[in-house]
Amino acid sequence: MSDDDPKNVWETVANEISRRHPIRGAWLGQAIDVGEKDAVLRVVFPVSLEKQLRMPVAEELGRLIQELWMDRTGRKVAFRPEATGAEPAAPPAAGPVVPTADDFENDPGIEAAVELFGATLESQNVKKS
């Protein structure tokens, strides 16, 4: 596989998004198949992610994916996710993503909700027993 292979590029793009937005990027690692043809980036996910792929967050992530794809390859693509794949046989090798307070503060979805509802974020020091 070359560095320009869609699967390699997808891995780089998905890792970058997960680094920036751990909560939102968690499902990107579940991609089953990735292909690029005629300026369309087709990414197949497990059927169980169908609901997530129809949410506005997926559309927003799609724009970021397209931007990062262009940065990485120099090619403009339209992101077309599908939830038509089989479920993975085993859970992903990496452990669960543990979000930090910074992840919440810097998450565009949370920022939009704060703005929309006029809320403020306050940290709580919760002691574990």
Tell me which residue has tokens 């996910």: 45
Helix (H) or strand (E) holding 42: strand 40-46
Please write down the HEC assignment for all residues of 73-105: HCCCCEEEEEEEECCCCCCCCCCCCCCCHHHHH
Q: Can you read off the two tokens belonging to residue 90?
A: 């085993």
Per-residue pLDDT of the chain (129 residues; tens, 9 = 90+): 446 889 999 999 999 998 988 877 888 888 888 999 999 999 999 998 888 888 888 888 999 999 999 999 999 999 999 988 777 665 556 666 677 767 766 777 777 777 777 877 776 665 555
List the one residue out of 104, 81, 101, 103 whose CA is nearest residue 30: 81
- Domains of the chain as residue ranges with CATH: 6-117 (3.30.300.180)
How far, in Å, CA of 34 to CA of 36, rounded?
Answer: 7
Tell me which residue has tokens 């949410």: 55
* DSSP reduced 3-state for 40: strand
Strands 33-37 and 40-46: antiparallel
